[in-house]
Each structure stands twice: as structure tokens, then as C-alpha cells.
Amino acid sequence: MTRTAVDDHVSAAVDATNATRIAVSTVIFTLRRLPGGDTPVVALPLVRRTRDPHEGQWSLPGGWLDVAEGLDAAASRTLAETTGLAPSYLEQLYAFGAVDRSPTRVVSIVYWALIRPEIASSGVGRSGADALENVQWFDAASLPRLAFDHNEIVEYALWRLRNKVGYSRIAHGLLADMFTLAELREVYESILGRRLDPANFRRQVENSGNLIPTELFRTGSHRPARLYRYNQDVELADRGPLDARD
Amino acid sequence: MTRTAVDDHVSAAVDATNATRIAVSTVIFTLRRLPGGDTPVVALPLVRRTRDPHEGQWSLPGGWLDVAEGLDAAASRTLAETTGLAPSYLEQLYAFGAVDRSPTRVVSIVYWALIRPEIASSGVGRSGADALENVQWFDAASLPRLAFDHNEIVEYALWRLRNKVGYSRIAHGLLADMFTLAELREVYESILGRRLDPANFRRQVENSGNLIPTELFRTGSHRPARLYRYNQDVELADRGPLDARD
């Protein structure tokens, strides 16, 4: 392993066992309506690198794991530091550790997260992602060439998102607390990248036991549409025994 | 990596960023028929620790990540070194990194694996797990108190196994190339820990498109039972874009 550029704090005294460093990065998805677009698309914030390697290229938000913090905490911290965002859902995705993925040996423990569109787009003063320099939202389906293996990481995260939306309540992480069936369907359509039959969709979600109809209706240019909420007795996404750890 | 590095403790000279070390461990499952037992149980090999911390306690097979090897390679290598086993299926499970999980800071990237019963029990000369000192098979449902957070890790791996058996061909990793429906059902029953209705089970797997009937039959004390094989066009377990990486 060569100790070059990557950063300032590599000491010369470490032995080979310790020459591998751990980074934590997060793929954070939301839905965004692009100018002129019909349905929203899956979007994610990227951070422009300000030093080598890959200076000037876009990369996933992240940073080094601190020796005194847990992995989940490091994911939340580095995400907040780089983008100002706090997600509604955060889960460990995968550890990427190919030897040649960086000029020095770095294992990246990657999380994936969801954030509701109104939070992603409004931001909260200086803490909103849009307010920070060097942070920008991208359409997940048409990314530029990213730093390191980050294109590959996003591709895997998208695959996980598409899989998970099918058998869990994960769509809730992209919706307000109450929503119409059309809004819910739009989330599914954006993630899956295809249209769903409204009548079939309604039947499936109504049979799932996951949704509770409220007495409220969304009114506007169309006929009033009933608002639903998720059944809180059902987990957002079943992570099994690990849920109890946090 | 040197063998002694596994249990060595932190050298005093490393700086904070580099004081976190990476271990790779594997939860490797097979099915074993216990003496007097009616159906096989899910079993895994554990390694008795020969030095502190947790000297004398049982732990998952594993070792330190070498600076020049990928994560998958490290999982295969450390598994072979500690148990002599080479699994039929190996997949990254989760990175465990709680600050207090070890006296020094260690992030364990854990894999899970399956091995077919006849391979697990016969072993291959000295390379079989049973042939090695300090390696022993345990019933996954009744483990002693293991070293570190390894009980918690096994619990999570079992949860993943139970989930995955429902929506993938994962059971094939525990079966010979050809098998009867009763043998397949036994795998499901062992993993899920409950009896399944034979007629329902037959209907479900026949409708799944995953199985191909052969013209061969298993004969013996019962009436001849047709042998099936898995449809090789269907992936053992869909790991998405990551499958292409290996």
C-alpha cells in the first residue's frame, strides 16, 4: 500500500494490519419532479470532491469512521456534515472493499437512506442539502461518472430499493404521514420505473393490511381522494433482530 | 497477515483514525441430524479461542483482513484456515461495529455461507472441519455463550436464512444436485423450525418453476420417490448487480 495523497492523517507508524481505513458513506434517495417531467424520479444528493483523488468529481456523502463511534452513528454524522440531511430511514447496505477501489486501501461501509420529498426540497435553512456548496441532487437513472466505485454502489442501492419496495413498507419513507393511493402509486412507479394499473394497485394495497383509510380527503382540481396512513403495527422495513440494537 | 495477528492487541503507536481494525468472520450453516433427533437441525461450526480476549470460548471462524485482499477472498481464506471448509454459497451478511464489542476497536465484516450436509460431515481428509482441533459443530438453536457479540451475529444470520429460504433457491445450497420433494421439504422444515403440509408444499414448489423433475427415483424402504433438480436458469439467490463482481 502506498501512502500518498488521499488524506492528511495517515501516520507512517502503522503496521500492515492497520493500513486499511474505514469510510462510511450513504446513498440517500428521495423523489424529485424534474422540470418538464411527468412523474417524479428517484434522486440522490452527491458531494463534489475538493481534493485528490478524484478532485472535482461527484461522490457519495460520507467520511471516515471515528474510532469512538458506532457505524450507524458515523453514517448519520457524516451525512449531516456533508449534506445537512437527516433521513427518515437509514439501513446498512453493504461493505465495499475491493483492493483497487481507491489509491490507498479503504473499506467503505455504505448505508442507504430515504428522505421525504418535502424535507429534501425545502431544506431547513442552512442545513438543507440545497443550501450547501458542493452538494447537488442528481437523477439516479442518469448519473455522471462518479468518484471511486460510487456508480456501482448507487446501482446496488437502487436494486435494493426496488426489491424492498415490493415486500415492505419502504415507500412510507418517501411519503408524508397521510397520502392518497395515487400518491402511493406514484412512489412505486418512480422506484420501479414503470406504470402500474391503478385498479390492480388499489386492490393489492387494500388487501395488504398495511394501509388504514382516514376520514380525510385531498381536494383540488380532481375529485376528492381519500387520505390513507400506514398501519403503525407493521414495521417500516423488517430488519429482524438488528432493529432491537439501535 | 500472520496467524498471531488474529488475537494480538493494538500496538500503542497507531493514531486514532487507524486504530480500528477489520476482521472478517463467517457464519456457515449446514443441516445435521443430531443423535436421537427426528429431523435435521441447522448447525454451524465454531472455533474455540486459544487466547484472550474470551480465551476458551467458542467463536465464529474468521481472521484479520489482509491489506492486499478483497473482502470475499478474506472470508473464504479465513474460513478455510480455521475450519478447512469451502462453502457452496457465500454472501456478505453485515458489518458489525459497535464500539464496545471488543476490548479494542474491531469492525467485523461478517459473511454467511451454506455447505451441503455430506460435505460438512465427511470432510476431506485433514481439511474437514471435524478433523481440526478446536473446531466443533453446534446446533444453531442452542448455542453456549459465545465470544464477543457472536451470539447476536448468529441470530441475525439465522433470521436472514429464514427470510431468504422463502423467496430464493437458497435451500439448494444445503442439498445434493438431485433430491426428492421430501428432502427439500425437510430443509425448509429445519430452517423454519416447523412442519409443512406435504401436499401444500408439493403444490407450491411445483408451481414455482424452480424445480425440474428427472426420470430418476429414490428407492428404499418407502415407495420410490422422484428425484428433482433445480432449474439452473434461476439464480441460487439473486444478489443483484453484485453477482457480476465476483
**pLDDT per residue as tens digits for the range A113-134:** 999 887 666 543 344 555 577 8
Picking from A15, A70, A94, the nearest residue to B11 by CB comes out as A15
User: Percent of chain A beyond pLDDT 90?
Assistant: 58
Which backbone phi and psi does B189 adopt, to 5 degrees?
Answer: -65, -40
**Residue A76, Cβ neighbours under 10 Å: how many?**
20
Q: What three-state secondary structure class fits B100?
A: coil
**Residue A134, Cβ neighbours under 10 Å: how many?**
12
For residue A213, whether the previous peptide bond is cis, meaning omega lies within 30 degrees of 0, is no
- Return the pLDDT at A238: 60
- Return the pLDDT at B171: 85
Helices marked H in B137-222 — which ranges?
150-167, 181-192, 198-208
Q: A230: pLDDT confidence band, cut at 50, 70 and 90?
A: confident
Picking from B1, B70, B152, the nearest residue to A99 by CB comes out as B70
> How far apart are alpha carbons B82 and B65 in whole angstroms?
14
Each residue of A5-15: pLDDT tens digit?
333 333 333 44
In chain B, CATH 1.10.10.10 covers 171-246
Please say if the pLDDT value at position A173 is more than 80: yes
Assigned CATH for A177-238: 1.10.10.10
**CATH superfamily, domain at A18-167:** Nucleoside Triphosphate Pyrophosphohydrolase (3.90.79.10)
CB distance B150 to B48 below 8 Å: no
Please say if the pLDDT value at position A245 is more than 50: no
In chain A, CATH 1.10.10.10 covers 177-238
- Return the pLDDT at A38: 75
| Contact call for A97 and B71, based on CB within 8 A | yes
For residue B53, whether the previous peptide bond is cis, meaning omega lies within 30 degrees of 0, is yes
Question: Average pLDDT for residues A144-166, to the nearest whole number?
Answer: 93
| Contact call for A66 and B16, based on CB within 8 A | yes
Please say if the pLDDT value at position A16 is more than 50: no
Each residue of A60-85: pLDDT tens digit?
999 999 999 999 999 999 999 999 99
Q: How far is A139 from chain B (nearest CA, A)?
A: 19
**Residue B70, Cβ neighbours under 10 Å: how many?**
19
Amino acid of residue A134: N
- Return the pLDDT at B208: 80
- DSSP state, residue A243: G
CB distance B71 to A107 below 8 Å: yes
Amino acid of residue B162: R
Give me chain A's average pLDDT, please. Answer: 83
Q: What three-state secondary structure class fits A89?
A: strand
Residues of chain A positioned with their CB less than 8 A from the CB of B69: 99
Identify which has the larger pLDDT, A121 or A190. A190
Each residue of B45-70: pLDDT tens digit?
999 999 999 999 999 999 999 999 99
Query: CA gyration radius for chain B?
Result: 20
* Residues of A annotated as catalytic (active site), given as ranges: 133
CB distance A225 to A213 below 8 Å: no
Picking from B17, B66, B69, the nearest residue to A64 by CB comes out as B17
Active site residue B155: no
- Return the pLDDT at B237: 57
> How far apart are alpha carbons B60 and B24 in whole angstroms?
10
Question: Average pLDDT for residues A34-55, to the nearest whole number?
Answer: 89
Each residue of B81-98: pLDDT tens digit?
999 998 888 999 999 999
Cell numbers for B44, please give them: 454451524
- DSSP state, residue A116: -
The architecture that CATH gives domain B1-167 is: Alpha-Beta Complex (3.90)
Q: Which residues of A touch B (CB under 8 A)?
A: 1, 9-11, 13-22, 64-71, 92, 94-95, 97-99, 105, 107, 109, 152, 155-156, 159-160, 163, 167, 240-242, 245
Helices marked H in chain A — which ranges?
71-83, 117-122, 150-167, 181-192, 198-208
Picking from A65, A98, A159, the nearest residue to B241 by CB comes out as A159
Of B118, B133, B183, B235, the active-site residue reads B133
Low-confidence ranges of chain B (pLDDT < 70): 1-18, 120-131, 167, 234-246
B171-246 folds as: Arc Repressor Mutant, subunit A (1.10.10)
* Cell 478532485 belongs to residue: A55
- Which residues, including other chains, have CB under 8 Å from residue B115's CB and lie 6 or more apart? B28, B29, B30, B85, B86, B87, B88, B173, B174
Question: Average pLDDT for residues A163-167, to the nearest whole number?
Answer: 77
Which of the residue ranges A97-106, A171-180, B175-184, B232-241 has the most confident prediction, judged by mean pLDDT? A97-106
Positive/negative CA dihedral, B67, B73, B75, B78: negative
Q: A28: pLDDT confidence band, cut at 50, 70 and 90?
A: very high
Question: Average pLDDT for residues A161-165, to the nearest whole number?
Answer: 86
Q: How far is B225 from chain A (nearest CA, A)?
A: 35
Find the residue in A nearest to B16 (Cα): A67
The pairing of beta strand B58-59 with beta strand B41-48: antiparallel
| Contact call for A11 and B16, based on CB within 8 A | no
In chain A, CATH 3.90.79.10 covers 18-167
- Return the pLDDT at A232: 74
